[in-house]
Structure 1
Amino acid sequence: MMHILIQIWKWLMQPKLWRFVGFVSSIVGLLCYGLSSSFNYLFGDWNLLKIFLYSVFSLIISLIILFAKTWQHSTSLRFKAHAAFLVLTITSLYSFFFDKVMNGKPDAYSLLSCAAFAIMLLSLSRKTQCGFEVDLLYFFLGCLIVQLMKIKLQLFIVGAGFGYLIIILRSSFSSIDVVIYNEDLTSPQDENLVIIEVNSDSLQLTSTDIGSSMVEQLSNYVKALRQENSNIIEKLGDDSGFIMSDPDFMIKALPTETIDNLHKTAKLMVSAGFEKDFSDVYISCRKECLVECLTRLGFKKLNIEDIQMLSWMEIEDGLKRWIKASKLALKILFPTERRLCDRVFFGFSSTADLSFMNVCMEFTLQLLNFADAIAIGSRSHERLFSVIDMFETMRDLIPEFESLFRDQYSLSLQNEATTIWKKLGEAIRGIFMKLENLIRRDRAKAAVPGGGLHPITRYVMNYLRAACRSRQTLEQVFEDYGHPLKEYPKIDDRMSSSSSLSVQMDWIMELLESNLEAKSKIYKDPALCYVFLMNNCRYIVQKAEDSELGSLLGDDWIKKHTAKIRQYHVQYQIRSWNKVFGLLKVKYNGSIPPKGVAKVMKKKLKSFNMVFDDLCRVQSSWYIFDEQLREEIRISIEKLLLPAYENFMARFHNIAEVGKHAEKYIKYETEEIEARLNDLFQGSSGSTGSRKRS
Structure 2
Amino acid sequence: MAEEGQEKLIEVVRHIARTLGRTDTMADDILQIYSNFDHRFARENISADRRYDGSVSEEHDSSLERDVLRFLSSGRPIWSDSADAAAFLEVIDALVAAVGDYQPPANGLLHQCMIRLEDEFRTLIENPYSVSPYEPVPPPGFDSEGEDSDGDENQIPVALPVTNYDYVIDALPPGSVADLHEIAKRMAAAGFGRECVHAYCLARRGFLEESIYRLGIRHRTAGAVDEIQDAQWAELEDEIRRWVKAVNVAFRILFPSERRLCQRIFSGLSIAELSFTETCRRPATQLLRFGDAVASSSRSPERIFQVVSMYEAIRDVVPELDAVFSDQYSAFLCRDSVALWKKLGATIRGIFTELDNLIRRDPATAAVPGGGLHPITRYVMNYLRAACASQQTLEEVMDEDGLGLTEITARPSSPLAIQIAWIMEVLQGNLEAKAKIYREPALSCIFLMNNGRYMMQKVRGSSELTILIGEEWIRRQAARERRWMADYQKTTWNKVTAVLRIDGLQSPGSAAMRERMKVLDVYFEETWRAQRGWVVADETLRSEIRAAAAAMVMPAYRRFLGIYKAVEKHAEKNVKHSAQEVEGRINELFIGQNEGLKRNV
TM-score normalised by the chain length of structure 1: 0.64
The 3-state SS of whatever aligns with 1:453 is coil
Quick check: 1:621 aligned with 2:533?
Answer: yes
Letter in 2 for 1:641: V
Q: Does the aligned pair in 2 maintain the 1:226–1:289 contact within 8 Å?
A: no
- In 1: Cα distance, 2:401 partner to 2:529 partner: 55
- Matched residue, 1:652: 564
Is the CA contact (8 Å cut-off) linking 1:338 and 1:404 kept in structure 2? yes
Structure-2 residue corresponding to 1:450: 370
Q: Distance in 1 between matches of 2:435 and 2:427?
A: 12
User: SS where residue 509 of structure 2 aligns?
Assistant: helix
2:239 counterpart SS class: helix
Query: For the residues of structure 2 that align with 1:614 and 1:235, how far apart are their CA atoms?
Result: 73
- The residue number in structure 2 matching 1:668 is 577
How far is 1:689 from its partner?
12
In structure 2, the residue matched to 1:165 is none
- Offset of 1:206 from its aligned partner? 4.5
The residue that corresponds to 1:129 in the other structure is none
Contact conserved, 2:93 with 2:186, CA < 8 A, in 1? no
1:193 corresponds to: 109
- 1:514 aligned residue (416, 422, 429): 429
Instruction: Name which of 419, 422, 426 aligns with 2:342.
Output: 422
Give the structure 1 partner of residue 245 of structure 2: 324
Q: Identity of aligned pairs, percent?
A: 41
Answer whether contact 2:159 2:216 (CA < 8 A) is retained.
Answer: no
Give the conservation status (yes or no) of the 8 Å contact 1:451–1:535. Answer: yes
Q: State whether structure 2 residue 315 is matched by structure 1 residue 315.
A: no
Q: Structure 1 521/653 Cα, relative in aligned 2: closer, same or farther at 3 Å?
A: same
Cα 1:447–1:361 change in 2 (3 A) is same
**1:670–1:535: structure 2 CA closer, same or farther, 3 Å change rule?**
same
Displacement, 1:301?
A: 1.7
Using the alignment, how far apart are the partners of 2:216 and 2:598 within structure 1? 43
The CA deviation at 1:241 is 4.8
CA distance in 2, matches of 1:430, 1:440: 15
* Counterpart Cα distance in 2 of 1:583 and 1:438: 46
For the 8 Å contact 1:588–1:597, the answer to whether it is kept is: no
- The answer as to 2:488 corresponding to 1:576 is no
Question: In the superposition, relative to structure 1, how do residues 542 and 232 fare at CA in structure 2: closer, same or farther (>3 Å)?
Answer: same
Q: Cα 1:626–1:216, aligned 2, differ >3 Å: closer, same or farther?
A: closer
**1:607 matched to 2:519:** yes
* Counterparts in 2 of 1:633 and 1:685: CA distance versus 1, 3 Å: closer
Alpha-carbon deviation of 1:550? Answer: 2.7
Secondary structure of residue in 2 paired with 1:443: coil
| Cα deviation, residue 521, structure 1 | 0.9
In 2, Cα distance between equivalents of 1:407 and 1:582: 87
Q: Which residue number corresponds to residue 125 of structure 2?
A: 222
**Given that residues 478 and 500 in structure 1 are in contact (C-alpha distance below 8 angstroms), is that contact kept between their aligned partners in structure 2?**
yes
Q: Deviation at 1:223?
A: 4.5
Is the 8 Å Cα contact of residues 165 and 249 (structure 2) preserved in structure 1? no
Q: How many angstroms apart in 2 are the aligned matches of 1:315 and 1:196?
A: 50
Whether 1:374 aligns to 2:301 is no
Distance in 2 separating the partners of 1:563 and 1:496:
26
Q: Residue 191 of structure 2 corresponds to which residue in structure 1?
A: 273
Is structure 2 residue 590 aligned with structure 1 residue 686? Answer: no
Instruction: Tell me if structure 1 keeps the 8 A contact 2:118–2:196.
Output: no
* C-alpha spacing 1:377/1:345, structure 2 compared with 1 (3 Å): same
Deviation at 1:275, TM superposition (A): 2.4
Task: State the match for 1:540 in structure 2.
Answer: 455
Q: Which residue identity lines up with residue 397 of structure 1 in the other structure?
A: V
The one-letter code matched in structure 2 to 1:363 is P
In the other structure, the counterpart of 1:460 is 380
Q: Of 174, 185, 188, which residue of structure 2 is paired with 1:256?
A: 174
In structure 2, stretches of 5+ residues that fail to align are 1-10, 17-89, 146-157, 404-409
Please give the TM-score of this superposition, normalised by the length of structure 2: 0.73
- Does 1:295 find its partner at 2:208? no
Q: Are positions 1:394 and 2:297 aligned together?
A: no
CA RMSD of aligned residues (A): 3.3
CA 1:215 to 1:574, structure 2 compared with 1: closer, same or farther past 3 Å? Answer: closer
Corresponding residue to 1:184 among 94, 119, 129: 94
Q: 1:585 corresponds to which residue?
A: 501
* Shift, 1:512, TM fit: 0.9
Q: Distance between the aligned counterparts of 1:292 and 1:245, measured in 2? A: 20
Deviations 1:57-82 (A, max 9, x none): xxxxxxxxxxxxxxxxxxxxxxxxxx
Would the alpha carbon gap of residues 688 and 672 (structure 1) be closer, same or farther in structure 2, given more than 3 Å must change?
closer
Q: Which residue identity lines up with residue 437 of structure 1 in the other structure?
A: N
1:183 partner SS: helix
Q: How many residues align?
A: 482
Alpha-carbon distance, 1:479 to partner: 0.5
Aligned counterparts of 2:185 and 2:427: Cα–Cα separation in 1? 69
Q: What amino acid sits opposite 1:554 in the alignment?
A: G
Residue-by-residue CA offset, 1:264-321 (whole Å, 9 max, x unaligned): 2222332333322222222221111112212222311222233223332222222122
Q: Tell me how far 1:424 sits from its aligned partner.
A: 0.8
**CA distances 1:195-217 after superposition (whole Å, capped 9, x unpaired):** 479xxxxxxx844xxxxxx5575
Match of 1:127 in 2: none
2:483 paired residue among 554, 563, 567: 567
Q: CA deviation at 1:433?
A: 1.1
Question: Quick one: distance in 1 between partners of 2:390 and 2:469?
Answer: 15
Aligned pair in 2 of structure 1 residues 671, 563: CA closer, same or farther (>3 Å)? same
